[in-house]
Structure 1
């Protein structure tokens, strides 16, 4: 089973990705997670990606595609995966299709999680992270019992620069411009399904699970 999960920043892709991967026992390939790991390790790739991410811009196509190609070639991803955060534009979508068809593989289903801008700003603006252990919180939906410190290790929680409202609005502008051609592309392939992302996460997952059971 090969799945692509589309959605704006703060749409809940990460939550749904984990639920889907845990239930169907498939690997989760998140370009965002990969870039953050590379940034933390201060690799050349990470340092290059950081310059774009901190400004709220997308990492260039060639850099992103090279990371995805490397992940797809890993043996643990040969029989299926969920792609989260990729493709982000029509060029990447077509390149992904080419990479897969070269190995006689294809995407089974593409889900677009659609969420209103106000909800996205609330979700992202309240995120807090632990820079030491990676634990995540939300000031409204999942606050730390230690206020501004991590419950797991006691480190002060941070508000990432790319989660601040002005940066998020810039990211949404870029996303909205790029997403429609991707939606049209996957519609023509007959594998796109739109999911309303303002609902409860368990309700969203229930809809996706039911859909995947017949794939």
Structure 2
């Protein structure tokens, strides 16, 4: 099982557990009072941006709308004895990390919710052919390549209107293989200036080196 397989996925059921350490020895019998305060929330990043309320209770089943978001909770430690019995509300912004309120000792790697229904397509501009289905594809010079990310919301295995989610993700280009013309170079991640953009393959090797290098990578060519 890979780290990605262990990450939070749509359909996973997440359950939170806690223990109250009250300095006066007050108790929350069976965690009943505190459980009633738990509110599940999702965020667009680990800083708590764009909060969306999800539900209540000590368990939550991750929904398709939570894809690429971070799961957190609001919880107010409350005891059934003592005065005061209610503490300050705690906001935990990312249960995939210890810093965010989860645990680094569990098997869940850091990161947002994974949507298994998201498919990746790389194609030439004005073409619908998915180049990822042919590992031997040779890139063409003076050609624009585009990324399409789509979520199969109805589960029919076909890209339909309203399923384009490309603008909800960040992506970075990576070359593999060597130059077909020069027979040299190594694969690597393309200069970050091309992140989240259409990739334009220049006409010459010199132009390609200038456009794509700069972060420990080189190779281009069709």
> What is the TM-score with the length of structure 1 in the denominator?
0.23
Greater fraction helix: 1
Q: TM-score, normalised by structure 2?
A: 0.23
Structure showing greater relative contact order (alpha-carbon pairs closer than 8 Å, 6 or more residues apart): 1
Between Structure 1 and Structure 2, the one with more strand by share is 2
Greater C-alpha Rg? 2
